[in-house]
Amino acid sequence: MFKRILVPLDGSDRAERALPIAARMAHASGGSIFLVRVVSTAPAALPSAPAKPILIQTVGETDRALAESYLAGVAGSELLNGIPLQTFVPTGFVSTSIISLAIEQHMDIIVMCSHGYTGVTRWWLMGSVAAKVARFAHTPVLVLREGGPVPQERHPGDRPLSVLVPLDGSDYATASLTPAADLAATLAAPGQGALHLTHIIQPAADTRGAMRALRATQNTQARENMAKEYLTAMIQRVRSRSEDPAIANLMFTSSVTSDDDIARGIIRVAEDGDDGEGAGVFGGCEVIALTTHGYSGPQRWVGSVTERVLHTSRLPLLIVRPEE
């Protein structure tokens, strides 16, 4: 479970959209929240830097004091009552500082909003920072979208909260399974969570001629059957390897669908619950879990589409970087 939760903030309301989700996760896991606001030293943040080094130091100290005061106010909010908290105000490049802090403090997850900015001349754009953190952090990153839906907690008897896990047959892609299961169980508490595993098949590009079309159809059917067996095996793998009762109680569903565009297919399954034939078979998902790359297996698409899904879907994304 996610017990050490890092929440980067920049002083904006948008960035603070991560706080309610982090609080729910901390309550469900009995964990702690670590708030961080980076005092950026990037030239864009301090445009006078090359000309006035003494002023830079003064501005940095002022910014640090403001950041510490801001985090103290957030930490004292009613939303975070009863949750163990720590605050950090590092100085440096924003994304690098967040990633380094996550490593140094052994964080289990980073929760952040994809956009957010504050100030006039001293600001950092959460959108680009979130993309960099998601790409390079060794810690799983949950990226919430500005204006997008937020997973709602569940109560016993409610429809399960579902997390979509697209798999491409590679070992790298399966690295998202356990974190996704943890997230589904944590966000759904006290109700039930669910994992929906999916595999997207790209149709044959050339089906001209009756025989070629027939062979392409047969090949596609064979690939679908193999993919269904593969997803069933992955479900059994998650169940058998977990000692966490919350994960053992998850609902599991799966689907195999085809689409010329893998990223589009993932978003369609996640947002519409589409089984590829226009039927909503499970009602859609509230989070998409993806790895940052996938280099082996029959279809090497997971890593190549993660950033496209990140920039296209309005759903929250859990992004996991597999160990090399």
| Residue 284 and residue 186 in one domain | yes
List, in sequence order, every beta strand (DSSP E) within the chain.
Answer: 4-8, 32-36, 39-40, 85-88, 91-92, 109-113, 141-144, 161-166, 193-201, 251-258, 287-291, 317-320
What pLDDT shows up at residue 203? 78
| Residue 33 and residue 62 in one domain | yes
Number of H helices, E strands in the chain: 9, 12
pLDDT above 70: residue 263: yes
pLDDT above 80: residue 269: yes
Q: What's the mean pLDDT in 273-294?
A: 68
What pLDDT shows up at residue 301? 44
Chain segment 287-323, per-residue pLDDT in tens: 999 987 633 344 444 456 887 888 888 899 999 988 7
| Half-sphere CA count of 79, side-chain side, radius 13 A | 15
Q: Which of 110, 144, 178 is the last residue of a domain?
A: 144
| Residue 127 and residue 192 in one domain | no
Q: Picking from 35-44, 113-122, 136-145, which range would have the lowest pLDDT averaged per residue?
A: 113-122
Chain segment 35-51, per-residue pLDDT in tens: 999 998 766 545 445 55
Q: Are strands 141-144 and 161-166 parallel, antiparallel or unpaired?
A: unpaired
| Residue 68 and residue 201 in one domain | no
Distance CA 301, CA 297 (A): 9
What pLDDT shows up at residue 142? 97
Distance CA 43, CA 222 (A): 55
Q: What are phi and psi of 307, to 5 degrees?
A: -70, -35
Chain segment 99-110, per-residue pLDDT in tens: 999 999 999 999
| Residue 242 and residue 272 in one domain | yes
Report how far apart, in Å, the C-alpha atoms of 220 and of each of 152, 189, 260 are: 37, 39, 13
What pLDDT shows up at residue 205? 60
| Residue 238 and residue 268 in one domain | yes
pLDDT above 80: residue 20: yes
Q: Residue 151 domain-assigned?
A: no
Tokens 């957010």 correspond to what residue?
116
Nearest to 269 by CA among 311, 279, 202: 279
Q: Residue 176 domain-assigned?
A: yes
Q: Residue 165 domain-assigned?
A: yes
| Residue 166 and residue 137 in one domain | no
Provide the pLDDT confidence category of residue 119 given band limits of 50, 70 and 90.
Answer: very low
Q: Whole domain around residue 281: which residue ranges?
A: 161-320
| Residue 123 and residue 179 in one domain | no
User: Bigger pLDDT: 122 or 286?
Assistant: 286
Q: What's the mean pLDDT in 189-217?
A: 75
Q: What's the mean pLDDT in 13-36?
A: 95
pLDDT above 50: residue 278: no
What pLDDT shows up at residue 114? 82
Structural domains in the chain (count): 2
Distance CA 117, CA 318 (A): 22
| Residue 116 and residue 244 in one domain | no
Q: Residue 154 domain-assigned?
A: no
CATH number at residue 278: 3.40.50.620
Q: Residue 149 domain-assigned?
A: no
pLDDT above 60: residue 147: yes
Chain segment 73-92, per-residue pLDDT in tens: 999 999 999 999 999 999 98
